[in-house]
Structure formats: C-alpha cells, structure tokens
Chain A
C-alpha cells in the first residue's frame, strides 16, 4: 500500500460557521494505480490533492504514506517526505521563466544534491524521453503550452518519485496537447509510477484505472 487516508476532515471557520472542505475521506492507493479525481468546482478536488501531496494540512483523521504516519509528522519532516517521493504537475505549469528547459529540469536534482555528472545524465535521459533535446536551451516563453506542460511532467518525474500528483494538468491545453500529456501519463503508469490526477474532463478521466468523484468535500 502506497498511502492510506482514513476519516480525513478539513474545515475552515467562517463567520462562526464551520465549512467543511473535506468530509470523512477514506482512500487507499496501492502502488501502480492511476486515479482520476472528478467533481464540480469547489468540491474539494484540489484540496484533497494538496493534502495527499502534504502541501496542506487536515484537521482530523489519519494519513499513512509508505507506513509513515503523516499526521504525526512535523512540517519539516513532512516536507522531506514529499520531496523524496512525490512529483507535482500544475495546471499552469509553473516553470521558472528565467531558466531554460534544461535548467528547469535540473532544478529538483540540485536540491537533492546529486553530483553534476549524474544530473547531466538524468536531464539528458528526460530530454530524450520526451523528445525535447532540440528545445533544451529554450526558455518557457518560447514553448507552446503543451510543450511547457511536457517539461512540467518531465520535471516532476526526474527525481524518480513514487507518486505523481497532477492538478488539472490539461486545463490550459487544447485537446490535442491534452491527449499527448495523457498518453505520457498512461505510459508512465505502465512503467509503474502511481498517478493521481484531478480533471474536469470525462475523456481524460477515462485514462485513469479508477475514478473518484467528490461533491462538497465528500466522496460519492
């Protein structure tokens, strides 16, 4: 089992009222799964993804990730955990504008203190794999949205995470570009990477092996 959420609650207090963002979420994810999370705006999809990614906290319940109790961890240890095992893909790519494709890919490795030769090899692998060798010295602004998101995916992948969390990865892309990203995800999944994606599109959701539907913070 990769991760296990049980009875997760998250709320905010607003005007004396408690508004639930997540309500009694129970979710087990095994290694190698490909899960699509769906639901209308405001149903808590992104919040759930952030909780899983340990970027956000929750108020009640337990969360075990690879036999570690996340709910008992201090923030710093939590950060270390997600840095090691989780890769993030964002709807608006979030590439650093000042860095080239190659440098953007290299950045996570810098923080993990890989040696220079090792970094170069890994970056070269990724460029190769995503067919971006020719674009390695371009800046994000010089790429199309689809290409930028490919860099985003490659960057999430470069430190070989066990889990990739993608928050509407195709939300800013046209259908053709979106499909390409989805194909990449499918292939990654086939290679054994666990993927959880949030999506609005039925078609993209269908790439997942399992679909979770959320409504008002609750799994339905």
Chain B
C-alpha cells in the first residue's frame, strides 16, 4: 500500500513538473530561511552556556535611578561580598576591556580586547587552558594569559609558554598560560588576560577596596543549588543591598543580579562590555522564521486544493474501489510529508550554500552541524510539521469528496472551501504587507539614526588617543599641532562624545533638593571644543584662555539647566560644586547626543581638560589623507615606540549601530524572501484558477469580451483580497512598528505613506503575478477551450 502511495505521489510529482517546482521551491526556500534563522536564534540563545558553572554565576549590576542602570559595580564590594554572604562561593572582578601595545622583541602589536581579571578567573569561568597550570597561571602579577590564536600571532609555531613580552612599553610579562580561543558565543571576548594583582599596585579602587566607585564588572559564583529558587535569588539580592547600605549611605544604589546566560540577550545596561545582543531581535526573528514556514505551508495548501479537481477523479475512484476516508487522508498526508522531506533535502543544500553569505551578513560564525542528533531531530520535526500542516487541509478537503459527484463530470467547489482558501491567500498578503511595512520602518529608522543631527558635525573628525610618552609631552604635542595648518583645528577631550560612560552624583547647586540624586555624566574639554565639533552655545561663553579661572569653571548642557531648575540665561554666573570643587557656570550648550540614540539626552557637565585624553582634529574637506600623514608624523616623533592608530568619529558612530544595521539587513532579506514565496504560491494559484475558468473565458470571448476586460475580470478577485489584507495589516503593523520604535529615545514617526507604499507594492506584485496568467488566458483562441467540452 505504502509503495503504491509513494509511486502515485512520485509520478504525480514528475508529471506536473511546474507545479511540483512551485511547491518544492516554496517549501525549500521557506525551510532554508527557517533553518538559517533558527541557527542564528540558537546561537544567540546559547551565549555563555558553555561555562560549567553557568547556572551559578551572576553579574552584579547597579541601578542609580533615573533609568541609569549600569553593568559595573565597586571593586571592594565585589571582592568582599563572598565573605559576608555565605551563599556566594567566590567572586571575580573584570576590568573594562582595553587596548594595549604589546612588544615582543622588535615586533609591535596593538592588541584588544584585554581584561584585568582576578586570580580565580579560570576557576569560575570555563575557559580551558591548553598550556600552563590553571591553578597558578594567574597567581604571578607579572604573568599573563593569551589565547591560542594570539599566541600564534605573537610567536608563530614556537611554544608561547614562558616567553616574555612587554605591555604598553613599560611592564614585562611572562606568558603563564595559553587559552583555547574564546568561543564566539561568549559575552566576554578577549585575547589577553592580565592578573588583577598587577593593576592592584596602582589602582586606587583596588588599593582602597572602595564601595562607592563603579569601575569593575563583578561576577559572583553562588553555591550550587543555593539560589535556584526565585525566592532565594531575591533574598540574595536583598542581602547584597543590605551589605551596601550598611556601608554607604550617601548614594542610593540598588543592586541586582543578572544571570550569566542572560547577559548577552537581556542586557540593556550602560557601561557594558561591547557586542551584546537583543532579546527583542531574537523574538522577532523567531516569529519571522515561523511566519516564513507558515507562508510556505499556505502555498502548498493553496496549490494542492486549487489542483483538487485533477485529483478528484482519483479520490472518487479509490472510494468506489474500496478505500475509506482514513486511508485517503493518510495517502494525501503522506504525499505532503514526502514532498516536505524532499524539500528539506533541498533546503539543507541551500543552507550549506548560503551559510557563508549569511554569516557575513549577520557577522556570525554559525556552523551547520548536520550530523548532530539534535539538529536531525529539529530538522525532522520541521519537515514533519511542515508536511502535516500543509497536507492537513488538502487531505481533509480531498478525502471528503463524494465519489458519485466527482466521477460524473465536473464538480463545483463548495463555498466554504473557497472561503477558506481565500482566507489563506489573504493571510499571505497580510504577512507580506506586514513585512513590507516592517522593512520600511526599520529602514527609515536606521537611516534616521545614521543621519540624525547629533548637535555637532560628526563628519571629517579624525581622532587619535594619547598613548605612551605623549601623556608627558602634551605641550609639545599642542605646539606641533598648532604649527601645521592641516592639524591646527583640533581639540583635546577626555572622552569622545559618542558613547560617554562617565557619571557622577557628587554635584551641588543652590536650591538642590537634598533628597534627590541625579547622575551627571561629565566630559573634560578644551577651549576649542565647541569650534572643532561645531556645537551651538545657547548662552554665556565657552572656555577661554583669556580667563585663567576657567580651570574651576563649568559648562552645562540645556538638559542640565532644566534638571537644576534654572533658566538657560539665568544659569550663567550661578555657582556649582563638583566633587567638592566650587566653580561658576559660564555657559550653556545646546543639547547634543553623547550616547547612542537608544538613550535620551541626560544632563551633562563640561570641565576644562587638564589631563589630556584624545586628540580630535577637524580635517579640511578633501585634505583628510594629508592630515592623517601630518598627524602620524607628529605622533611618531613624539612617541616613537607606539604605532599611531587614528579613527574617525563618524565611523565610530556608525559602528555603534552595526548590530542594528545587521538586524535590519537580515530582516529585509527574509521579508523579501517571504514575499517571494508568497508570489510563487500566488502565481500557481492564479494559473489554476484561470485554468478552471478556461471555458468561461472562451464563451465570454466569443460573445465579444475584450482582452482587457477579461484580464480585469480574472485579476479582480485577487486584488479584492489584497485590499482586505491591507485593511487587516494596517493596525497590526502600526502596533508592532510602534513597539519596536519605543526602544529608541530618538525615533521616527510612523507615517501614512509607509502603509501606502507597502500596500501599493503588494498590490503591484499581486497584479503582475496574476495578470500574466490572466492575459495569457484571455489571449488564447476561444475555439480551443470550447472544443474540449
């Protein structure tokens, strides 16, 4: 029996090649998309689960109120918590990742990211050591760990263990361990680890074991099973907060614990390690994968039922000969499952073919482990689900035919089945419109982000951080920069105003509510900052060499004036105390974005730079190359041991939204594919509908209908469905787009033309797809169609 079914299915498949191609093509593309997306989703959700203790490790996070939640916590607190709270087995501190110059003999490497980590780093986290003793690898302050590929880069094929290297031109370290390369799905990405004990010699936070300065990432490893229940987790958090309030009373900070495995996707914290994902995108893509599969299934259902008149005879005959309904249902389900597995085979091929490009697009290193049991199970489940889902309706529909009706001439489709099928087509159109609107909104928002006026002119700004000897030769640097007309338009700032991660509570002004605490990000600038960045002053003046007292004066932004309840103009001249230093507000700057656009503009304090930091040069248009050369020359002279590394502010800004850009690109790709699959189905469906009305077309033509009228008549039904779908899609897409945009403090407004555009596009696509068939049918010789009866 089974053999018979397969035979029939196979021969049907071969005989109706075009139809089979549409079917298998749609399903295979749909499955390939879903597999790719699921691979991505699987990768995103697998972050940090490779750690043996993954379930016991939590990161300490700090909430300062005012929506300012940060991933960092105080060094002393992290170190002392295990002593005070018995559930905590141990803790590891990690510094912020940084870049350093590494010298091996004459070779120089700029290496990043590098972390300082506590001695028990290797006990808590599972980063296997290839060479070296894990128990002692981090115990020497002058030992360091490098990853395997870094070792290869530094020492080639030579054994790295025991070799010495120089960091930042001063400290000599011995390689005490070679780590396996960090898995891509680790939120901590590094190629070198330096013991915290090294930093402890100079860092005040570490020396004084402070509880009030937030500069380290703190990972707490709990005793196994001690916090598996939500209640025990909550009580641990409570104990941590109590330990803090027992010591520190002046700042109100609420601490929380963030599960290690949640860090990658659920972290919307500030001052976090770079490169984290977004659970929102994972959810969106998971839904998109599902939608694409559904669209492909709907295709199959539509094509199969549209073609049902052809199979009706077989159904009738089988029934007369002895089949009962159950057997027929099984036969048709079996057929769709067969096609689905066939499509799966093609889909697997497609995935192999497309994975490299997809990896490029998504900036991932996804691997398709086809021989993995889990993957097999997932694939078979996908194919079975697709087969059963897409086969269910045709199976039930076809097996319900009454033999006597189908064996005698043509049968008419019942109204409800037409209704159902139209419903399916409308669903496809709704999905298409939704995805198109989504594409438009995402594109516009990303475009907006890229081109928003940030409050300063971001193009043509070249920057180069101070390193090595430069710190001590700032006056010489300034003189050199001033002398060259190419570089004379420069400013020295403590941080770039692209993603400012500073913040301070220690700010007093007259009339401040003693109970309130507001976090003030701050930046140190020099006299030329406003000119170089082309910012706008609202009142007062900028820092000037003409006023020696400016070194204790302050500038604020518009938002800060508002926060302090001051009028923009009245604020100038008022006094302000920052970290105990009393000064005067000399000017108010118009608000500019100094953080990514997800965040609203917060109050900002600007001080005069005394320490140096980063040199930012505004290049004259068209002179960028020569400016770079001039700048490199100045740096080489002043700081010969470091290779100068310059960057552009606008490139940095763009890089901040790289994740968003990738997501946008992936979403657009899959949206287009989903629409393409819909078109395949629509094309097939219109072909069969036209075929069914072949005779009617002949009669109408003989009676004098023009080709245009016929085309119009045949296309009208489909276009009606497009309109219905459009009406359904508008509120849904509006809601979804609005939800997505809420993530950005700065976002576009949803506009009517976005809907109109999507509606028009789908209308146009549907019209093109359908009218091809219609025109062909309308142009056919009517004699032919009338003869056949």
Measuring CB to CB, which residues of chain A are less than 8 angstroms from any residue of chain B?
46, 50, 55-56, 76, 79, 83, 88, 90, 94, 96-99, 103, 106-108, 110-112, 155, 159
Which residue of B1, B11, B313, B324 contacts A110 across the interface (Cβ within 8 Å)?
B1
Q: List the 9 closest A-B pairs by CB distance, nearest first.
A: A111-B322, A98-B11, A83-B322, A55-B404, A108-B321, A110-B1, A94-B317, A111-B323, A98-B8
Contacts of B12 in A (CB 8 A): 98
Chain B residue nearest in CB terms to A116: B3
Contacts of A112 in B (CB 8 A): 322
**A164 → B minimal CB distance (Å):** 13
Contacts of B322 in A (CB 8 A): 83, 108, 111-112, 159
**Pairwise interchain contact A50-B8, C-beta atoms closer than 8 A:** no
Q: Does chain A have a CB within 8 A of B468?
A: no
Which residue of B317, B404, B408 contacts A96 across the interface (Cβ within 8 Å)?
B317
Chain B residue nearest in CB terms to A109: B322
Chain A residue nearest in CB terms to B409: A92
Q: Which of B404-453 contact A (CB under 8 A)?
A: 404, 407-408
**B785 → A minimal CB distance (Å):** 20
Which residue of A46, A88, A98, A106 contacts B320 across the interface (Cβ within 8 Å)?
A88
In the bound assembly, the distance between CA atoms of A20 and B199 in angstroms comes to: 104
Q: Which of B1-45 contact A (CB under 8 A)?
A: 1, 4, 7-8, 11-12, 15
**A48 → B minimal CB distance (Å):** 13
Chain B residue nearest in CB terms to A106: B4
**A160 → B minimal CB distance (Å):** 13
Chain B residue nearest in CB terms to A156: B321
Which residue of A99, A108, A155 contacts B7 across the interface (Cβ within 8 Å)?
A99
Q: Does chain A have a CB within 8 A of B403?
A: yes
**Pairwise interchain contact A155-B321, C-beta atoms closer than 8 A:** yes
Measuring CB to CB, which residues of chain B are less than 8 angstroms from any residue of chain A?
1, 4, 7-8, 11-12, 15, 313-314, 316-324, 327, 403-404, 407-408
Chain A residue nearest in CB terms to B1: A110
> Do A96 and B407 form a contact, CB below 8 Å, given A107-B321, A111-B322, A111-B323?
no
Most A CB atoms within 10 A — which of B15, B314, B317?
B317
> Do A98 and B317 form a contact, CB below 8 Å, given A50-B404, A103-B7, A110-B1?
no
In the bound assembly, the distance between CA atoms of A110 and B317 in angstroms comes to: 14
Contacts of B8 in A (CB 8 A): 96, 98-99
Most A CB atoms within 10 A — which of B316, B317, B320, B327?
B320
**Pairwise interchain contact B11-A55, C-beta atoms closer than 8 A:** no
Given contacts A55-B404, A97-B15, A108-B322, 6 further A-B contacts (CB under 8 A): A55-B320, A90-B407, A94-B407, A96-B8, A98-B15, A99-B7
In the bound assembly, the distance between CA atoms of A50 and B1 in angstroms comes to: 28
Which residue of A56, A76, A97, A107 contacts B404 across the interface (Cβ within 8 Å)?
A56
In the bound assembly, the distance between CA atoms of A56 and B7 in angstroms comes to: 31
**Pairwise interchain contact A79-B324, C-beta atoms closer than 8 A:** yes
In the bound assembly, the distance between CA atoms of A83 and B318 in angstroms comes to: 11
> Do A94 and B327 form a contact, CB below 8 Å, given A55-B403, A88-B320, A107-B4?
no
**A140 → B minimal CB distance (Å):** 12
In the bound assembly, the distance between CA atoms of A150 and B171 in angstroms comes to: 99
